[in-house]
Amino acid sequence: MKSFKRMAAVAAVAVAGPTILTATPAMAADQPAVIVPDVAPKDDAADAGTPTPAVPAVQAPAPVVPAPSVPAPVAPDAKAPAPKPAPAAEKAAEETKSDEDTQGAEYDGILMGPEVTVAGIPKDGFKADGGWTPLKVTVDNSGHIAVPNYTPSVTVYEEDGKFKPSQIKVEWKTAGGTWQAAKLVQGEELGPGLQYAFGTAPSVTKDTSYTVDVRISFAANSPVVHFDLASDGKSRVGNQVNHSPSTWYSTRIAGAVGGPEDPFVEGPALTVNGVPENIKAGGDWTNLSVHVDNAGKQALKGFNVGLVLARPDWVKMKPSQIKVEVLSKDKNGKAGWHEAEVWSEEESVFFGIELAGGPVTAGKSFDVQVRIRFAADAPLGSVSIFSWGSSNIDPDTPEPWAQSRSKARLTNIVAASPDTGGNGNQPKPNGGTKPITDTNGNTGDTGNSGNTGTTTATTGGELAATGSDPATTWALGGAGVALAMGAALVAGTGRRRRTTA
């Protein structure tokens, strides 16, 4: 168990996460992202058993770009000011800038958002007949701070470089309704990838999104192969270019045979509810819930749910400045809040919180009740909160594995007022919820994770759940959580795979 916890802690600040989650899933459309760690640089790639290095606190982090050979990004200086909010994101397509302008950047950095996704990828592959295939590229800044001068892009990546620029055409629709050829970008940092950039938005404001209409065409002489379509974006301020996480889709030219098998399926839909605009440092508990919705999906023998807290302003915190509890009951029926473990390094901008794990019945939904508070000395600023989930991933668990990730919610740690009362949403007795009985008698494992708190030591317990009776038994925590969290914690700086419909 300790090795799992160390893996999770390292992954919290590293881009190259546990290699067990790097299998290539199949094509993608509009499903929730499966998070996959970014790959290590080709020349410095370590063996699977080599610990992943932590990200040092330096001012010039390396970029995150959709190519297999990229330097691991490092955290920007925590003192760097967050981008100032600017006009609404709907103006995104009004301004176009050549991506050549970013080639002479003095140094590169990374962003935790926005997330750029692509819809409309043909299930049977792209036709190589010179015709257009319409796509929609969405820039989603949910749960993230404002980002200035943002340019989204897609990259056609075939690892052997079989595509020629003359075989691919990409256009995007401007705000005026005209189609414009996307600027092709090539370079050493992209490897064999062919990147196509769309217009620059003066600002993507916090918690907003916009969509760009795109169309792509493959010539008749295009190679009939499998390839990846990656989407991401970059923000330029002065001489610095910051790269947002990339989303990768495995696809193909129609007629291509073989290709990678997908070891993942879409897990239960997750939603974090109750996140307020502000949370007081040193204040009372803030009550949240994680809604787990398995409607229309198969039963899972084991599924682990947790939270990830991230600082998009890159201001570091200590695990001891974060307290999280989960509502539960013991076998005697006594209700109470039990402490959840916060996993991270001594100081970090990513924090993983293990909530619970257990079987999920087909078609059922329920809520896990959670509450959070920040210490009085917690650094003020933005915090992004999202939930993640994974089925047990180990040699004894048959494929496919389930993966889930909620949209992020943005809040702010603010200074406590003279009235240091609660943050609202006061809990009702037992949370006003229906619990899931835990019959496993799990006492947890405190381990050595750099956290000043400990895992819940309750024998038995009941996790709060609403909705119809899930008829399942869950345990607080679980050994499988740490393995899944190795992927979840790189969400701000890594690559995300999406499964196809």
What pLDDT sits at residue 335?
65
What are 460's two structure tokens?
A: 């038995």
What pLDDT sits at residue 469?
34
Q: Please choose, from the candidates 408, 411, 422, the residue with its C-alpha nearest in 3D space to the C-alpha of residue 278.
A: 411
- CA distances to 16, 97, 120, 344 from 72, rounded to whole Å, are 7, 27, 30, 18
What pLDDT sits at residue 423?
54
Neighbours of 59 (CB within 10 A): 13
> Could you tell me if residue 173 is inside a domain?
yes
pLDDT grade, residue 255 (50/70/90)? very high
Domain shared by 120 and 223, yes or no: yes
Domain shared by 390 and 470, yes or no: yes
Domain shared by 118 and 250, yes or no: yes
What pLDDT sits at residue 403?
84
Q: What is the CATH number of the domain that holds 177?
A: 2.60.40.10
Q: Round to whole Å and give the CA distance between 259 and 289.
A: 40
> Could you tell me if residue 405 is inside a domain?
yes
pLDDT, average across residues 74-98: 39
What pLDDT sits at residue 231?
95
What pLDDT sits at residue 397?
64
Domain shared by 222 and 331, yes or no: no
Helix extents (H) in 434-478: none
Domain shared by 237 and 296, yes or no: no
Q: Round to whole Å and give the CA distance between 76 and 62.
A: 10
> Could you tell me if residue 20 is inside a domain?
no
Average pLDDT, the chain: 70
CA triplet 279, 284, 287: central angle to 5 degrees?
70
The residue written with tokens 């075989």 in the block is 167
> Could you tell me if residue 115 is inside a domain?
yes
What pLDDT sits at residue 444?
34
Domain shared by 269 and 254, yes or no: no
Higher-confidence residue: 403 or 488? 403
* Secondary structure of 84-143 in HEC code, one letter for each residue: CCCCCHHHHHHECCCHHHHCCCCEEEECCCCEEEEECCCCCCECCCCCEEEEEEEEECCC
Higher-confidence residue: 376 or 43? 376
Reported pTM: 0.68
Q: DSSP secondary structure string, 267-308?
A: --EEEEE---SEEEBT---EEEEEEEE-TTS--EEEEEEEEE
Q: Is the dihedral of CA 175, 177, 180, 185 positive or negative?
A: positive
Domain shared by 254 and 273, yes or no: no
Q: Round to whole Å and give the CA distance between 363 and 293.
A: 8
Q: Round to whole Å and give the CA distance between 116 and 231.
A: 6
33-47, 249-263, 482-496 — which is least confidently predicted? Answer: 33-47
What pLDDT sits at residue 239?
86
Give the residue from 262, 280, 306 where a domain finishes.
Answer: 262
In sequence order, the β-bridge partners of residue 249 are: 229
> For 416-468, how does the pLDDT look when each residue is reduced to its tens digit (9 = 90+)?
876 545 554 444 433 343 443 333 333 333 333 333 333 333 333 334 443 33
Domain shared by 127 and 189, yes or no: yes
pLDDT, average across residues 212-240: 95
| Number of domains making up the chain | 2
pLDDT, average across residues 22-39: 32
Domain shared by 400 and 284, yes or no: yes
Q: What is the CATH number of the domain that holds 476?
A: 2.60.40.1510
The residue written with tokens 């494992």 in the block is 445
Q: What percent of the chain has pLDDT over 90?
A: 40
What pLDDT sits at residue 499?
52
Q: What is the DSSP letter of 167?
A: G
Domain shared by 272 and 362, yes or no: yes
> Could you tell me if residue 498 is inside a domain?
no
Q: Round to whole Å and give the CA distance between 147 and 110.
A: 12
Confidence check: pLDDT of 266 > 60: yes
Contact status, residue 210 vs residue 155, Cβ threshold 8 Å: no
Domain shared by 162 and 186, yes or no: yes
pLDDT grade, residue 395 (50/70/90)? low
> Could you tell me if residue 376 is inside a domain?
yes
Domain shared by 204 and 337, yes or no: no
Q: Round to whole Å and give the CA distance between 268 and 35.
A: 15
Q: Which residues contact 313 (CB under 8 A, 6 or more apart)?
A: 78, 82, 145, 381, 382
Higher-confidence residue: 328 or 275? 275
> Could you tell me if residue 306 is inside a domain?
yes
Q: Please choose, from the candidates 280, 340, 281, 262, the residue with its C-alpha nearest in 3D space to the C-alpha of residue 305.
A: 340
Contact status, residue 235 vs residue 83, Cβ threshold 8 Å: yes
Q: Round to whole Å and give the CA distance between 234 and 198.
A: 11
> Could you tell me if residue 200 is inside a domain?
yes
pLDDT, average across residues 162-169: 97
Q: How far, rounded to the nearest angstrom, does the alpha carbon of residue 240 sit from its chain's CA centroid?
A: 24
pLDDT grade, residue 106 (50/70/90)? low
Give the SS3 label for residue 334: coil
Structural domain including 329 reads 265-488
Type of residue at 226: H
Type of residue at 249: Y
Report, in this order, helix, strand and coil percent for the chain, each rounded to 5.
10, 40, 50
Q: Please choose, from the candidates 486, 313, 320, the residue with its C-alpha nearest in 3D space to the C-alpha of residue 383.
A: 313
